[in-house]
Amino acid sequence: MKTCGSLGQSGMVIPPLVFGTMARRQSASREREALIRNAVERGLVALDTAPLYDFGDCEQLIGRALVGLPRERYRLFTKVGLRWDAGARGRVLFSFDDAQGRRVHVRRDSRPESIRAEVESSLSRLRVDYLDLVQVHHPDLDTPFAESFGELTRLRAEGKLLHIGASNFTVAQLQDAQAALGDIALCSLQPEYSLLRREAEQKLLPYCRSHNIGVLAYSPLAGGPLGGQVPQIADRAAMLRLQHALRDVLHPIARAHGVSPAAVALAWVAAQPGVTAAIAGASNHRQIDAQLAMLELQLAPDELEHLTRGFATVGWPSSWSLQASRLRRALKRVRQVIGRGLRAARLRGS
Ligand SMILES: NC(=O)c1ccc[n+]([C@@H]2O[C@H](COP(=O)([O-])OP(=O)(O)OC[C@H]3O[C@@H](n4cnc5c(N)ncnc54)[C@H](OP(=O)(O)O)[C@@H]3O)[C@@H](O)[C@H]2O)c1
Positive or negative: CA dihedral 234, 236, 242, 247 = positive
* Distance from residue 106's CA to the centre of ligand 1 (Å): 21
Ligand 1 centre to CA of 220 (Å) is 7
10-residue block means of pLDDT along the chain (350 residues)? Answer: 90 97 84 96 97 95 97 98 92 88 93 98 98 98 97 98 98 98 98 97 98 98 90 87 96 98 98 97 96 97 98 84 62 69 73
CA of 336 to the centre of ligand 1 (A): 28
User: Is 130 annotated as catalytic?
Assistant: no
Of 219, 288, 316, which is best to mutate to test ligand 1, by the most ligand atoms within 8 angstroms of its C-beta? Answer: 219
Whether 13 contacts 6, CB under 8 Å: yes
Report how far apart, in Å, the C-alpha atoms of 317 and of each of 20, 189, 284 are: 20, 21, 24
Q: Provide the pLDDT for residue 331.
A: 63
pLDDT of 322: 63
Predicted pLDDT at 326 = 60
Integer Rg of the chain from CA: 21
Q: Say if strands 82-83 and 214-218 run parallel, antiparallel, or are unpaired.
A: unpaired
Using CB distances shorter than 6 Å, the residues near ligand 1 are 20-22, 24-25, 48, 167-168, 190, 218-224, 227-229, 260, 262, 279-283, 287, 290-291, 319
Distance 216 CA to ligand 1 centre (A): 13
Residue with CA at minimum distance from ligand 1 atom 45: 20
pTM, full prediction: 0.92
Quick one: pLDDT at residue 152? Answer: 98
Q: In Å, what is the CA distance from 284 to each residue of 27, 39, 319?
A: 10, 10, 19
- The answer for residues whose C-beta is within 8 angstroms of residue 177's C-beta and 6 or more apart is 136, 145, 149, 166, 169, 186
Neighbouring-strand partners of residue 218 = 192, 279
How far is Cα 44 from Cα 42, in angstroms, rounded to an integer?
A: 6
CATH code given to domain 5-349 = 3.20.20.100
